[in-house]
């Protein structure tokens, strides 16, 4: 499913999103609001898979 407005497109994750996913999940500004550690390169694909099913 995709939702589009004039300024925003929301869509489901795709495998090509993994580098961007890792980048923001390792950002200290992101982690400040989440009670968990940064994900490793091995954990992120599993997170992505759970959120694309």
* Global pTM value: 0.50
Burial 11-43 (b: 16+ CB within 10 A, else e): eeeeeeeeeebbeebeeeeeeeeeeeeebeeee
pLDDT tens track for 27-37? 888 878 876 65
Distances (CA, A) of 14 to 6, 18, 32, 36, 37: 22, 8, 26, 23, 23
Give the pLDDT confidence of 3-29 residue by residue, as tens digits: 999 999 999 888 888 888 888 878 888
Predicted local confidence at residue 10, as pLDDT: 94
- CA-angle at 53, arms to 39 and 30, nearest 5°: 30
């Amino acid at each position: 499913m995709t939702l589009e407005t004039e300024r925003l497109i929301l869509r489901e994750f795709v495998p090509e999103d993994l580098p961007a996913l890792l980048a923001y999940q390792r950002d200290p500004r992101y982690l400040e609001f989440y009670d968990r550690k940064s994900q490793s390169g091995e954990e992120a694909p599993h997170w992505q898979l759970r959120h694309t099913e």
